[in-house]
Amino acid sequence: MAEPKPFHVADLPGVGPTALLVFAGLYAPILTLVVYSFNVSPSVATWEGFTFEWYLKAWSNAAVMNAAANSLIVATLAAVLSTALATLAALGTTRRPAFFGITAVYAAINQPLMVPEIVTAVALLIVVAAIKAATGYAGLGYLVIAHTAFCIPFAYLPIRARLEGMDLTLETAAADLYASPWQAFRFVTLPQLAPGILAGGMLAFVTSLDDVVITEFIKSPGQDTLPTYMLGQLRRAMTPDINALSAALLGLTLVLLSGFFLLSRRKS
């Protein structure tokens, strides 16, 4: 008697065309945006030729450069801080026996993922407004703190997943060879955990870089990031330089993703 053929989702009728439609719906608008960022015409609906004019215009715009600098500063600091805190949280929730209340700890760490972002933004605004009134300080530090708090769960999830997938044999062997807890972490755990930390840092950076809601609530006058600057421009008129900025952000994201995959492959 012949063995039954293994089941594969791809063998179901209509899976191929449906997948193509889904990919077209996802990527056709992005491709259109990139193409029209090189359009000579100021119209976003009529193609009249190829040009780099809008990228050069955005590059020479002082407001765009200031917003880009703010975005990179806030995203870099928020990614570093949130990844460091997420690494400590992941170690504290995976490298110990289960304890009463661990579910509540998971919920607290992942709270920004479960609560609507507008709620988090309003809560942070209340705290920040009180601190501003008490101290008089109105710098970028508030954005860094707010983005760090929001990005912690995005960094935590890949780091925790990496820790849970790691074999404890090497750490146990290091302890048997009289390595201190710090030495075992530095020479055994950390090298294995590095791909997860890179993934968490990259995810936190991208999340902070394109955040609008929290930034719009927390920022002081003159502290626009690229997303909030673009939102302000869109309220006036849709111009090709906005397409150019969007395409530039897309390119930066692709570079980060490519770098991460190359680094994680090398680590493997």
Mean pLDDT, residues 32-50 taken together: 80
Q: What is the mean pLDDT of the chain?
A: 83
Question: CB 106: neighbour CB atoms within 10 A?
Answer: 15
CATH topology of domain 46-267: MetI-like fold (1.10.3720)
The predicted-structure confidence for 179-227, as pLDDT tens digits, reads as follows 777 887 888 888 888 888 888 898 899 889 888 999 999 988 888 898 8
Which residue(s) pair with 50 in the sheet?
39
3-state secondary structure of 43: coil
Q: Are 235 and 113 in contact (CB under 8 A)?
A: no
Q: What pLDDT is stored for residue 78 in this prediction? A: 94
Tens-digit pLDDT profile for residues 245-256 = 888 888 887 887
Q: With 80 as the cut, is the pLDDT of residue 16 above it?
A: no
* CA dist., res. 134 & res. 162, Å (int): 42
At residue 264, the pLDDT reads 57
Tens-place pLDDT, residues 136-156: 888 888 999 999 999 999 999
Residue 166 CA to residue 94 CA, distance in Å, equals 11
Degrees, nearest 5: CA angle 91-93-97? 110
* pLDDT above 70: residue 265: no
Q: Is 48 helix (H, G, I), strand (E, B) or coil?
A: coil
Phi, psi dihedrals of residue 44, rounded to the nearest 5°: -90, 5
> Taking the complete model, does pTM exceed 0.85, yes or no?
no
Spatial CA neighbour of 51 closest among 245, 244, 246? 244
Helix residue ranges per DSSP H, the chain: 15-36, 53-59, 62-94, 102-109, 111-114, 117-135, 141-164, 169-176, 181-184, 190-209, 213-218, 226-236, 240-267
